[in-house]
Homo-oligomer: A and B are copies of this chain.
């Protein structure tokens, strides 16, 4: 049952990643169950999205843990983070846009925690001189999510290869477009 639930969640994530407006009916079909059963597991569409949000947060935190953000140098930590979070990028992109619809309600506290940890990473990189200090850690964090979404969307639409995903994002985020002088 818990296994069922997880399976359904994965299927829903995979589908909604591709088509964010998918119907409960479509979600059920994608998960290989009936709409009735889907409703038995998730009270409604809202509950389903919330559950997906929880899943996304959990995957993010797993990635954060695996990326060992505290180890020097910060640059390596960012690269590991991008690599680890890649499998969840599609889901995150979905949740990223979905979040903008949560008008009144405040967002899940989990996001704040994740945001804080990533922001802290960038701040640490600035303090030890690795990162430039004229871009705020908050912006760098936001940009990371934005680039993840762009990358996921690009792969999704076939305009980019999945194998380049990690490198493209990490390289752009860290190094930018300008060519470096050889040192």
Complex Cα–Cα for A138 and B168 (A): 11
Does chain B have a CB within 8 A of A65?
no
Q: How far is the CB of A8 from chain B (nearest CB, A)?
A: 23
Complex Cα–Cα for A96 and B136 (A): 25
Tell me how many residues of A have a C-beta within 8 Å of chain B: 48
Select the stretch in A28-36, A38-46, A146-154 that faces chain B.
A146-154
Q: Which residues from B are CB-within-8-Å of A160?
A: 136, 138-139, 142
| Additional A-B contacts beyond A134-B171, A136-B160, A180-B180 (17; CB < 8 A) | A78-B177, A97-B97, A132-B179, A136-B168, A139-B160, A139-B172, A140-B177, A142-B153, A143-B147, A143-B168, A145-B150, A146-B146, A147-B150, A171-B176, A174-B177, A176-B177, A181-B181
**Can you list 22 A-B contacts with CB-CB less than 8 angstroms, sorted by A residue number?**
A20-B100, A75-B178, A78-B177, A130-B178, A131-B178, A133-B179, A135-B177, A136-B164, A138-B154, A139-B168, A142-B153, A143-B172, A146-B147, A147-B147, A147-B150, A171-B176, A172-B173, A173-B177, A174-B178, A175-B176, A176-B176, A180-B180
